């Protein structure tokens, strides 16, 4: 069956559960594009999406970072598995120390690639362990001088 995902400013038509309906899904989404010509069509893994022409994941990440950087400096880590994630990979690569990771094979803007979701899970576990060690060693909880770091 086909699944319609109604997003706030876009719509996605998924055919993952019925790949044999891809042609029908494409016809439906193209009809939708006639009704909303200001939306552009993108194709992902078993999905067609109509999104605002100016929208992409890179711009979304930029907006989030702009909001967060009012308080602290963040390093973006972006993990994705679809062609619709390429704008996000490209943007994250422009940020100092940004980490972009594609899950699966194929050409990509991502700096790194993981084979599957199991490798993503392993990466996230190692990353969490690293953060916990960093938090314990750097924040000053065990500072020999008796000082503690004040984090505002």
Give per-residue pLDDT as tens, 92-131.
Answer: 999 888 999 999 999 999 999 999 999 999 999 999 998 8
Q: What is the pLDDT of residue 53?
A: 85
- Higher-confidence residue of 83 and 152: namely 83
Contact 100, 110 (CB under 8 A): yes
- In the predicted structure, residue 148 carries a pLDDT above the cut 50: no
Q: What region, left, alpha or beta, does residue 106 occupy, with left being phi > 0 and alpha being psi -120 to 50 degrees?
A: left
Tokens of 63: 């907006």
How many C-beta neighbours within 10 Å does residue 142 have? 8
Q: What is the pLDDT of residue 134?
A: 78
Measured between alpha carbons, how far is residue 16 from residues 19, 128, 131 in Å? 6, 31, 36
Q: Is the dihedral of CA 63, 32, 102, 107 positive or negative?
A: negative
User: In this predicted model, what pLDDT tens digit does every residue of 1-60 receive, in sequence order?
Assistant: 999 999 888 899 999 999 999 999 999 999 999 998 889 999 989 999 999 988 889 988
């Amino acid at each position: 069956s086909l699944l319609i995902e109604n997003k706030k400013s876009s719509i996605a038509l998924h055919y993952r559960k019925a790949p044999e309906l891809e042609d029908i899904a494409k016809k439906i989404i193209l009809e939708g594009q006639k009704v909303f010509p200001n939306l552009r069509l993108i194709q992902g893994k078993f999905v067609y999406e109509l999104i605002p022409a100016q929208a992409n994941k890179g711009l979304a990440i930029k907006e989030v970072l702009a909001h967060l950087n009012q308080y602290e400096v963040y390093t973006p880590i972006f993990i994705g598995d679809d062609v619709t994630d390429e704008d996000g990979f490209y943007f994250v690569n422009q940020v100092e120390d940004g980490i972009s990771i594609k899950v699966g094979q194929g050409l990509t803007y991502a700096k790194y690639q993981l084979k599957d979701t199991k490798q993503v899970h392993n990466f996230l576990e190692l990353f969490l362990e690293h953060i916990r060690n960093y938090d314990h060693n750097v924040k000053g909880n065990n500072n020999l001088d008796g000082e503690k770091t004040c984090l505002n």
